Amino acid sequence: MDYESFYRQSIEQPEAFWAEQAQRIHWETPPTQILDQSNPPFRRWFVGGTTNLCYNAVDRHLAERAEQLALVAISSETGVTREFSYRQLHREVNTFAAVLQALDVGKGDRVVIYLPNIAEAVFAMLACARIGAIHSVVFGGFAAHNLALRIDDAQPKLLIAADAGMRGGKVIPYKPLVDAALNEASAPPPRVLLVDRGLDPQMIRVPKRDVDYAELRAKHETAEVPVVWLESNEPSYLLYTSGTTGKPKGVQRDTGGYAVAMALSIRTVFDIAPGQVMFSTSDVGWAVGHSYNVYGPLIGGATSLLYEGLPTRPDPGVWWQLCEQYGVRTMFSSPTAIRVLKKQDAHWLKDHDLSALKWLFLAGEPLDEPTAQWITDALGVPVIDNYWQTETGWPAITLMPGLDLKPTKIGSPGLPAPGYRMKVIDEGTGKEVPAGSKGVLVLEPPLPPGCLSTIWRDDDRYVYSYFSHFRELLYSSLDWAIRDADGYTFILGRTDDVINVAGHRLGTREIEESVAGHPAVAEAAVIGVKDAIKGQVPIVFATLKQDAGVAADAARGMQQCVVDQLGGVAKPSRVYVVNALPKTRSGKLLRRSLQALAEQRDPGDLSTLDDPSALDEIRRALARGPDQGS
């Protein structure tokens, strides 16, 4: 079927469309009602149907592909690779589920998982799903305070943690963070299950509270744990995302709708069929990690590669070597990671046979044209941007090579995915803007299957956070966007990242795109800072490519690029050339911290900062002055 017909049916006849898509998964009890939207903006999909994520990801494949690889867990940090067939994965998940039950975890109980990208993280997630427990994966290495906040909100029966993770060859002890978080939390779980990797021999166990997974695993290694069937709208997991109030929002995902969205998207968006291989470089602690490291590929009967480490360790060819070794068909990464690889010698990529690789998907942040062009030319395969949020759980805007690949447009993630009824509206009037005009990207309810169903234990916050921005009941993405005449959407940046320069509203992303167009620029971050005359002015922090020449010349060139593309009003007031930009561990730029430092304010919570020395680099640049001023 062509994209247009497929998409049109999904929004014009949603119940018929999703009834058909629901056949992609196993239902123990068929749904009695496809869609209940009697209480907008809340909606319920596949009402009355019972299913289970673990059964769909593991058990149902045993008849046809028990010996096929299901999961390959690779650590370039420890040098260990572990391969699991579907039969072996089924065994490990049953054992883990039995361990959970031995620790008094059952249906509806929450389990916080604080693990790096190791096989046990996948076992734990699937085991929770198997017995109807609600997992909440917290990015491994998150600061103790952030972990405590999530513990208090989820109120888990159990916390699962590793002794340590590793990054860049450095051991990162987790247990001290866990202990500090549990000391701070007002509702700490009674038990902690420890996955001891042997990385932290100094790890201290708390008697009666801390239990060793290896010991319990040995007791339950032959256990058979029955699947607990859940009604489609019962929660499957919580995934916390930052909120404007400082209190994280527990995005709540349902069970049946999410399973259907995974089954649909793994085939039509990512073009992965049973037996094929997908490599997502995300951490399991993020939304992409949940959907396309774990549930999506496994529900689709594919092989998933799970990677712990950096894209440059032990050398910048490690990802491409894995693609060659396992015959990866679809790879999913981030623009930040590709920009890191862009700085390396081209031979690291060209030395590997990538003939099996058909698609590279990138998400997590807007994809700039120079990066897109470089990796497209280097791989010789389509590079597909896609746009989604933690809240959506799967791509909202993308191209669909598994169905009908439309032409790519650099700078745009593409066209609406099935079920997403979206438009770009004027923030003041709420009316749809003409093609080519900037507005706020919104979704018309009901949100399609796979999207969040509410905020955990806070329906009011769900409505307020997402549906209270306009008179009409619309989900606000909080992103500026432009839709062209062909229906392609271009994301311009957050509505809360707007610079108001002398009455002109400028998105930081627009300016970053212009700066990134300069041939010397490797990466750039644009922020708005206070100005006595203009209200705000944009300033640029940029890193340069190797052998890029004189910083001052490059800085002047960046300013000119902006003037040429956006006009004089957008010209950066100051440009700072630096060696590194501060980012989170997931690769997102800490623009608000940059803004705070530039305005001599406290940079705020830096618990997610990947490299603390990057902030020192910014402080030194601000102290010495810009490489180019206005």
Alpha helix (H) residue ranges in 442-545? 459-467, 508-516
User: pLDDT at position 607, please?
Assistant: 67
Residue 609 has pLDDT above 90, yes or no: no
Cα-based distances in Å from 273 to 26, 269, 330, 355: 17, 11, 11, 17
Domains, the chain, with CATH or none: 3-309+386-478 (3.40.50.12780), 497-629 (3.30.300.30)
Alpha carbons 216 and 192: distance in angstroms, whole number? 13
User: pLDDT at position 605, please?
Assistant: 67
If pLDDT is split at 50, 70 and 90, which confidence band does 532 have? low
pLDDT in tens, 542-598: 999 877 678 888 899 999 888 877 777 788 999 999 998 988 776 778 887 888 889
593 or 231, which is more confident? 231
User: pLDDT at position 116, please?
Assistant: 96
Q: Provide, rounded to the nearest whole percent, the portion of the chain with pLDDT above 90.
A: 73
User: pLDDT at position 504, please?
Assistant: 59
What is residue 508's three-state secondary structure? helix
In sequence order, what are the residues at sequence separation of 6 or more whose Cβ sits closer than 8 angstroms to the Cβ of residue 377? Answer: none
Average pLDDT of the chain to the nearest whole number: 92
Residue 503 has pLDDT above 60, yes or no: no
Average pLDDT over residues 101-121: 98
Residue 482 has pLDDT above 70, yes or no: yes
User: pLDDT at position 534, please?
Assistant: 72
If pLDDT is split at 50, 70 and 90, which confidence band does 211 have? very high
Residue 54 has pLDDT above 70, yes or no: yes
In sequence order, what are the residues at sequence separation of 6 or more whose Cβ sits closer than 8 angstroms to the Cβ of residue 256? Answer: 22, 25, 27, 31, 45, 46, 49, 51, 230, 231, 232, 233, 449
- What is the CA 162 to chain-centroid distance, rounded? 22
Residue 602 has pLDDT above 90, yes or no: no
Average pLDDT over residues 171-186: 95
Alpha carbons 142 and 136: distance in angstroms, whole number? 13
pLDDT in tens, 435-471: 999 999 999 999 999 999 999 999 999 999 999 999 9
Residue 280 has pLDDT above 80, yes or no: yes
Pair of tokens at residue 446: 């009901």
In sequence order, what are the residues at sequence separation of 6 or more whose Cβ sits closer than 8 angstroms to the Cβ of residue 140? Answer: 114, 115, 116, 117, 162, 165, 174, 283, 285
pTM assigned to the model: 0.84
pLDDT in tens, 363-421: 877 787 888 889 999 999 999 999 999 999 999 999 999 999 999 998 899 999 999 99
Strands (E), 421-534: 422-425, 438-443, 454-455, 475-483, 489-494, 498-501, 504-507, 521-531
